[in-house]
Amino acid sequence: MSFNLRCVFLLIFLMVDVSSPFLMSPTASVILIHELGHYLAALSLNIKVEEFSVGFGPAVVRFQINPFRFVGGEEEEEEGRVTYSLRALPIGGYVKFPENYNTTLVMENDLAAREGFKKKLSTEKKEGGIVGLLKWLNEEDENTVLKKKTKKPPKNSPKKEKKPPPPIEYYTDVDLLQNRPWPDRALVLSAGVVFNFLLSFSLYFVSLTVGPGLTKTIIEEGVLVTTEPIENSPSYGILRKGDVISSFNGENLLGLGTDVTIMESEISKIISTIKSTEDGANVEVERKEGGTVKIKPRVAMGRQYPTIGVSLSPNFVGVEKVKTSSAAEAAKLSVEEVKKVTKSTANGLANFFKSLVQFGGKGKSGAGGSISGPVGVIKLGSDVIGSKDWSALINFAAAISINLGVVNALPLPSLDGGQLGFVVVEAIRKKKIEQKTLDDVNAIALFGILVLSLGTVFTDTLRLFGK
């Protein structure tokens, strides 16, 4: 896998104000642990690593050493050395593995081919202007016309062979990640995600046993209206901040329990229903106190979908601190918390991708769920830091670690899950996929991820300013 490509995605994830080191610390540490997982897995299998970097930007400190001598290796050899870097911007880090082919040579060949195309295109435009260009595009240039006037050679006559592009010469070094058997590659690729979940479990465990305790939210049944309705919005004068919705469009919300993940999923369904409401149609809202009302969603200025003008959330009523002196109980609670946050993250991502599909198919953003980008992380992190609550800070770091683990586990090229998928395909087919093809697919996928990341920045910014 080209881990240096994914670094760009991690940088987008960490677009934070470098003047806020306390905010950067949890997120940067989480990413560093993720990359450390890849590095240690590779080290344990004697797989070559080109560089392990702490931070991004210009190198402040850089040295080389052969780490294999500490894990059973013999004398330190030049080719086994790893570059360790401490860089200027302490925002995470990355692991760089050596390529298994000469990427510089391949790039030069690609550029040469492009230059030849541009030169031919420029010549056609110069000789015949737009007419010459059109003739070239329609294969009506001088050479083609000459070929048409010339009699076709006999079938038995020797054909002029086209010069094939220079083949890519792949290195055969068995210590390169790309040349290892699929179980080795699968272990290295999955280690980062595994370390993220282990980090979250450890943070919860420490918080429960010797730390300030695990913060647990207390919620009651129903859906809470968390903001006053926007003036002149559909719910203005009908709903109020603090109202508890007990039923929506006839569906009871009071019998669903108090699991926050279930309630968040239900709220996503409510918002999705509102956004997909036909023009002029009503939604029916029953309040716990105040009876049933009908509200007519409409598209607000600057929006692409109907809304009722309020924000909804699970019915939070408070928080409590949970501590235990039992290691077994702490382990059990830690596993439950990891499972809960993982499920919540997965639901959020599912709603996000669902909204992308519905947006493309209907012209509306259908899902109620959303995903926070860098600005959202900044806002949440700032609130946590501002509270000066160590328990909240631990929860924040653990949640970010799980988020990073879940996102990297997605079966998308350029992410760990996608690369693992390619390895599984190779194992089933018993045939390797050409590395250059994988790199090209990763580059295209990375571009898509960057576009989505920038989109979340834009959305978070609008949300931050209440638009």
Amino acid at the residue 113: A
Nearest to 64 by CA among 86, 43, 82: 82
Q: Which of 27-36, 285-294, 438-447 has the lowest mean pLDDT?
A: 438-447
Domain count, the chain: 3
**Within a 13 Å sphere around the CA of 242, how many CA atoms are in the beta-carbon half?**
2
pLDDT at 296 over 70: yes
pLDDT at 76 over 70: no
Task: Render pLDDT for 366-423 as a digit per residue (tens, 0 to 9).
Answer: 333 444 444 444 455 555 555 566 777 888 889 889 989 998 999 888 889 989 999 9
Burial class (CB in 10 A: 0-12, 13-18, 19+), 108: exposed
Domain boundary among 322, 338, 371: 322
Domain assignment present for residue 160? The answer is no
Task: Render pLDDT for 183-241 as a digit per residue (tens, 0 to 9).
Answer: 999 999 999 999 999 999 999 999 999 988 888 778 888 888 988 998 888 999 899 99
Asked whether residue 59 falls in the same domain as residue 121, the answer is no
- Asked if 422 contacts 433 with a C-beta cutoff of 8 angstroms, the reply is yes
Burial class (CB in 10 A: 0-12, 13-18, 19+), 297: buried
Task: Render pLDDT for 117-149 as a digit per residue (tens, 0 to 9).
Answer: 555 555 555 555 555 545 545 554 445 445 545
Domain boundary among 301, 322, 343: 322
Compute the average pLDDT of residues 321-330: 92
Q: Over the chain, what is the mean pLDDT?
A: 75
Q: Which of 201-205, 281-285, 316-320, 417-421 has the lowest mean pLDDT?
A: 316-320
pLDDT of residue 1: 42
pLDDT of residue 257: 65
Asked whether residue 200 falls in the same domain as residue 227, the answer is no
Looking at per-residue pLDDT, the higher value among 431 and 167 belongs to 431
Instruction: Give CA 174 to chain center in angstroms.
Output: 31
pTM score, whole prediction: 0.69
Domain boundary among 294, 322, 350: 322
- Asked if 98 contacts 2 with a C-beta cutoff of 8 angstroms, the reply is no
pLDDT of residue 3: 44
Instruction: Write out the two tokens for 199.
Output: 């980090």
Asked whether residue 264 falls in the same domain as residue 396, the answer is no
Asked whether residue 74 falls in the same domain as residue 199, the answer is yes
pLDDT at 275 over 50: yes
Nearest to 375 by CA among 463, 453, 460: 460
Strand partners, 251: 248
Domain assignment present for residue 163? The answer is no
Domain assignment present for residue 166? The answer is no
Domain that holds residue 119: 104-149
Asked whether residue 130 falls in the same domain as residue 183, the answer is no
Domain assignment present for residue 288? The answer is yes
pLDDT at 38 over 90: yes
Burial class (CB in 10 A: 0-12, 13-18, 19+), 322: middle
Looking at per-residue pLDDT, the higher value among 181 and 452 belongs to 181
Instruction: Write out the two tokens for 260.
Output: 């926050």
Domain assignment present for residue 158? The answer is no
Which stretch, 35-44, 313-322, 337-346, has highest mean pLDDT? 35-44
Q: Which of 96-100, 300-304, 307-311 has the lowest mean pLDDT?
A: 300-304
- Asked if 467 contacts 302 with a C-beta cutoff of 8 angstroms, the reply is yes
Asked whether residue 2 falls in the same domain as residue 80, the answer is yes
Asked whether residue 257 falls in the same domain as residue 344, the answer is no
Instruction: Give CA 316 to chain center in angstroms.
Output: 29
Q: What is the 3-state secondary structure of 198-239?
A: HHHHHHHHHHHHCCCCEEEEEEEEEEEECCCCCCCCCCCCCC
Measured distance CA(181)–CA(418) in Å, rounded = 17
Asked whether residue 251 falls in the same domain as residue 198, the answer is no
Asked whether residue 11 falls in the same domain as residue 77, the answer is yes
Q: What is the CATH number of the domain that holds 244?
A: 2.30.42.10
pLDDT of residue 173: 87
pLDDT band at 89 (very low <50, low <70, confident <90, very high): confident
What per-residue string of b and e applies to 201-225 under the rule 16 or more CB within 10 Å gives b? Answer: bebbbebbbeebbbbbeebebbbbb
Asked whether residue 208 falls in the same domain as residue 226, the answer is no
Domain assignment present for residue 231? The answer is yes
Measured distance CA(285)–CA(185) in Å, rounded = 53
Measured distance CA(101)–CA(172) in Å, rounded = 9
pLDDT of residue 342: 92
Domain assignment present for residue 155? The answer is no
Domain assignment present for residue 359? The answer is yes
Looking at per-residue pLDDT, the higher value among 167 and 45 belongs to 45
Task: Render pLDDT for 17-26 as a digit per residue (tens, 0 to 9).
Answer: 333 444 456 7
pLDDT at 15 over 90: no
**Within a 13 Å sphere around the CA of 217, how many CA atoms are in the beta-carbon half?**
17
Asked whether residue 81 falls in the same domain as residue 124, the answer is no
Asked whether residue 227 falls in the same domain as residue 356, the answer is no
